[in-house]
Amino acid sequence: MVKRKEFVCPCKCPGQSCIVERRKVGDFVHVDMLMTEAKVPKLKHCLSKPTKTQQKVLDKIKDKNFQSITFRWTIDSELEKVDDKSK
Ligand SMILES: [Zn+2]
């Protein structure tokens, strides 16, 4: 038997908002995308202490993009409703 140690995020936040969980299931991680864009290393997990450059990216999210994330989710759920109706 090989014991597989899976990395568990220390944040204990529900799956959908946890960056580690989202990566695991191959879900879109907005923070990762912005880090890549800024050519900054990605955060290891939700509670990683960000470096100065990472913090700059995080500040950007708070300023502008945080709303757009939740907005995207709203659109997603609206689309699901439309799908239900068409059935
Ligand atoms: Zn997490």
pLDDT digits (tens, 9 = 90+) for 29-78: 888 998 999 999 999 999 999 999 999 888 877 766 555 555 555 555 55
pLDDT at 23: 92
In this structure, what token pair is assigned to residue 66?
């945080």
pLDDT at 43: 93
Q: What sign does the CA torsion over 8, 13, 14, 19 have?
A: negative
- Ligand 1 centroid distance, CA of 32 (Å): 13
Alpha helices in the chain (DSSP H): 19-24, 30-37, 52-60, 66-86
- Ligand 1 centroid distance, CA of 1 (Å): 28
- Ligand 1 centroid distance, CA of 87 (Å): 36
- Ligand 1 centroid distance, CA of 12 (Å): 6
pLDDT at 37: 92
pTM of the model: 0.60
Q: Where are the domains of the chain?
A: 15-85
- Ligand 1 centroid distance, CA of 83 (Å): 31
* Rounded-to-integer distance, Cα 66 and Cα 11, Å: 19
